[in-house]
Amino acid sequence: MKHLGALGKYFWKYRVRLGAGILFVALSNYFNVLSPQLMRFIVNYVDQSLTLTGSSHLTETRGYDVLVKKMVEWITQFGSIAQVVLVASIIILIMALLRGFFMFLMRQTIIVMSRHIEYDQKNEVYTQYQRLDSLFFKNHTTGDLMNRIAEDVSRVRIFTGPAIMYIVNLVTVIVLSVFFMVQSSLELTIYVLIPLPVLAVIIYIVNSNIHKKSERIQAALSDLTTNAQESYSGIRVIKSFVQENAMFRFFAINSEQYRKNAIALARVEAIYFPSIQLLIGISTLFTIMIGGLYYIHHEHNITLGTIVEFIVYVNMLTFPVSAIGLTASMVQRAAASQKRLNEFLDIVPEIKNETGATPVALDGTIAFNDVNFTYPDTGIRALQQFDLKIKKGEKIAITGKTGSGKTTIAQLLLRMYDANDGSIVMHDRNIRDMDVFALREQISYVPQDVFLFSDTVENNIRFGKPGATREEVVAAAEIAGVAGEINGFEKGYDTLIGERGVTLSGGQKQRISIARALIKESALVIFDDSLSAVDAKTEKEIMGRLNAYLSGKTAIIITHRVFSLLSFDRIIVLDEGRIAEQGSHEALMKIPDGFYARLYQRQQMGLGTEETV
C-alpha cells in the first residue's frame, strides 16, 4: 500500500477534480438515501389512510432527513391520497434524476482525473526510458519494458479512477444509509446488518481466489501471445525447417494451459454471484421477518413503511459491499504495479551527465589513454590497456577477430558505457566532462545492428538531422550508394519500410542506415561493420564516394573485409581488447605471419574473413 504514496503528487496536482469528485459522490448518495424515506412515508400514508377513518393522518417523521421532513410537510397539504402518492412519487423520480446527474459529474471528475494521471505517468515512464542507458536495456526484455508502460500504468489507473470511486462511494453509502437506518430503528438496523460483514469477508476471500486465477490466466495468455508472435515473425525459419507441426504442438500445450485456467476461473465466478445474492436475500429476509414481527406486536414503532424503507436500504448497500473484494484486489494490483514503477523510476543512469558543461564543437581528435573496460553484466574484459591517438581528419580502420573489442570502442566513444580506467579525450576534453547528448549529437554513427523505423525512407534518413531538406536526404542517399534503388521504388523516398511497407534487403537497410548517419555532417564518423551485407564491388564504390565526403573528417571504420582498407591512413588490428598490429597496409603486410597479412592473402584468394584464419 505504501507504494501508492507515490501517487500523492498527482492527487495534489488534480486536487480540484478529486475534491469535486468526492463531493459529487456524496451528493449523489445523499439523494439516493432520501428516496427510501419517502417510500416509507408513502407506504405509511396509504396504510393509515386505509385503516384510519377520517382525515386524521399520522405524519410520523422520526428519522427523516431535514429535507424529507420539509417535503413531507408540503406533500401532506394535498388533500387526496392519490395526489399525495403522485407528488411523492414525482419527488422520488426527481431524486433519482439528481442522483444520476451527480453520478455523471462524479465520473466526469474522478475518471477524467485518472486519465490525466495515466497520461502523466506514461510520459514519466517514457522519459525515464529515454534517460536510461544501455545496461538497463540489456537487462530487461522488450516484453517487460512494454508491460511497464502499458499494463502497470493501466493497473494504477484502475486504482486512481474506479477504485477511488468505489471506495468513496462505499464509505458515503454506508455512513449515510446506516445513519438514517439507526435514526429509523436501531434494533432492525442491527439485525439487517449482521449478514453484511460475513458477505464482505466471503467476497474478499473469493475475490483473492479470482485474483490469483486471473493472474495465472494472464501469464498463460502472455505465453500464448509470445508463442503466436514468434511463430509469425519466424515463419520463414519455421517453414524452411519444416517445423510447423512442432510449433503447433507447442502452441496447443500453451493453449491447453490457458483453457484450464480460464475454466477454473469460470467455476469460481459461477459460485461467486449466486453467493452474493444468497446473502443479500438473507438480509432482506431478516428485514421482513424481524420487522414483520415487531410490526405485528407493535414493538419499537416499526411500521409497514419502515420495513419497505429497510428493504430499499439493504439493496442500496448490496453493490458497494459486494464491490469491496473487487476494490481490494484493484488496490492490491495497483500497489504491486506502482511498486514496479517506483523501482523503475528510481533507477539512476550509470552514465553521469554533465548537463551544465560548456559545449565544445568537436574537431575530430581522439585519444584513448590506457583504457580498460569490462562489461558489468557479463564480466567480459573487452578492452585492456587500450591506447590509441587519432589525429583530426585521420581515417582509421579497425579489424580483428570477432569478439576482439571493436564495437566496444564505438560504444565507449558514444558513452553508451564509461571506461573503468584510463580516459578518452576528444578535442582536449575528457568525454566524461561533456554533456552526453551534445557529444552524441556530434558523432555520425552507423551501428552494427541496423534498425529502421516503420516509416518512409525519407523520414528514416532525416532521423539523423531533423529538419533536413529533401535535397539533403537525396545527397546522403547518394553517398551511401542507395539512391538508385530508392528511385526504383514505386513511391521513391515516400516508400514505407518495415512491417507495413516494403521489405528491404540487408544491404539496402545498411545503406539507408549509413545515409541516416551521413546526413548529420559530423566531424567524427564511425561505421561499425556497416557494409557487411553489400558485395565487395558496391562496397568499393561507396568507399570511393565516401573518400570525398570524409575529407577533413575523422573516420573510424570497423570492418572484417580488409581488401577495402587500402586507402586508410592507419589500420588497427585488435586481439582480445589490445592492439595487436597497427600501421599502414604496406607496413602490416610486411609483418611475417601477421594477422593482417594472412587475412589479406586469404581474402584475396576469396577464402573468407578472419574467422577462418
Ligand X SMILES: Nc1ncnc2c1ncn2[C@@H]1O[C@H](COP(=O)(O)OP(=O)(O)OP(=O)(O)O)[C@@H](O)[C@H]1O
Sheet hosting strand 578-583, strand order edge to edge: 443-446, 524-528, 554-558, 395-400, 570-575, 578-583
Q: Which stretch binds ligand X (CB under 6 A): 28-36, 370-378, 388-396, 467-475?
A: 370-378
The residue within the footprint of ligand X, chosen from 186, 198, 380, 589 (CB under 6 A), is 380
Is 144 among the residues that bind ligand X (CB under 6 A)?
A: no
> CB of 475 within 8 A of CB of 521?
no
Alpha-carbon gap, residue 554 to 396, rounded angstroms: 8
Min. distance of Cβ 377 from ligand X in angstroms? Answer: 5
Pairing of strands 381-390, 443-446: unpaired
The helix/strand/coil state of 308 is helix
Residues in Cβ contact with 323 at an 8 Å cutoff, skipping those fewer than 6 apart:
166, 169, 170
Is 561 among the residues that bind ligand X (CB under 6 A)?
A: no
Is 80 among the residues that bind ligand X (CB under 6 A)?
A: no
N residues, the chain? 613
Alpha-carbon gap, residue 277 to 271, rounded angstroms: 10
User: Residue 177's closest CA among 21, 321, 325, 23?
Assistant: 321
Question: Which C-beta is closer to ligand X: that of 405 or that of 464?
Answer: 405
> What kind and span of H or E run contains 322?
helix 304-345
The residue within the footprint of ligand X, chosen from 28, 114, 407, 456 (CB under 6 A), is 407
First to last CA, the chain: 61
> What kind and span of H or E run contains 422?
strand 421-426
Residues in Cβ contact with 279 at an 8 Å cutoff, skipping those fewer than 6 apart:
195, 196, 198, 199, 202
The residue within the footprint of ligand X, chosen from 406, 509, 511, 516 (CB under 6 A), is 406
Is 608 among the residues that bind ligand X (CB under 6 A)?
A: no
- The residues in 495-554 that bind ligand X, with binding defined as CB under 6 A, are 529
Pairing of strands 421-426, 578-583: unpaired
The 436-475 contact track toward ligand X, x by CB under 6 A, reads ------------x---------------------------
HEC string of 53-67 equals: CCCCCCCCCCCCCHH
Alpha-carbon gap, residue 18 to 417, rounded angstroms: 44
The residue within the footprint of ligand X, chosen from 28, 32, 44, 408 (CB under 6 A), is 408
Strand partners, 574: 400, 579
The residue within the footprint of ligand X, chosen from 35, 109, 327, 404 (CB under 6 A), is 404
Is 397 among the residues that bind ligand X (CB under 6 A)?
A: no
Torsion of CA 598, 367, 390, 408, to 10 degrees: 40
Question: Which C-beta is closer to ligand X: that of 529 or that of 539?
Answer: 529
> CB of 518 within 8 A of CB of 476?
yes
# residues contacting ligand X (CB under 6 A):
16
Is 402 among the residues that bind ligand X (CB under 6 A)?
A: yes
The residue within the footprint of ligand X, chosen from 256, 269, 350, 377 (CB under 6 A), is 377
Is 403 among the residues that bind ligand X (CB under 6 A)?
A: yes
Residues in Cβ contact with 537 at an 8 Å cutoff, skipping those fewer than 6 apart:
none
Question: Which C-beta is closer to ligand X: that of 60 or that of 133?
Answer: 133
Is 138 among the residues that bind ligand X (CB under 6 A)?
A: yes
The residue within the footprint of ligand X, chosen from 56, 378, 551, 612 (CB under 6 A), is 378
The residue within the footprint of ligand X, chosen from 195, 405, 422, 481 (CB under 6 A), is 405
Q: Which stretch binds ligand X (CB under 6 A): 47-55, 280-288, 402-410, 510-518?
A: 402-410
Is 382 among the residues that bind ligand X (CB under 6 A)?
A: yes
Is 350 among the residues that bind ligand X (CB under 6 A)?
A: no
Question: Which C-beta is closer to ligand X: that of 328 or that of 398?
Answer: 398
Question: Which C-beta is closer to ligand X: that of 78 or that of 129?
Answer: 129
- The residues in 173-232 that bind ligand X, with binding defined as CB under 6 A, are none
Question: Which C-beta is closer to ligand X: that of 154 or that of 448?
Answer: 448
The contact set with ligand X (CB under 6 A) reads 138, 375, 377-378, 380, 382, 400, 402-408, 448, 529
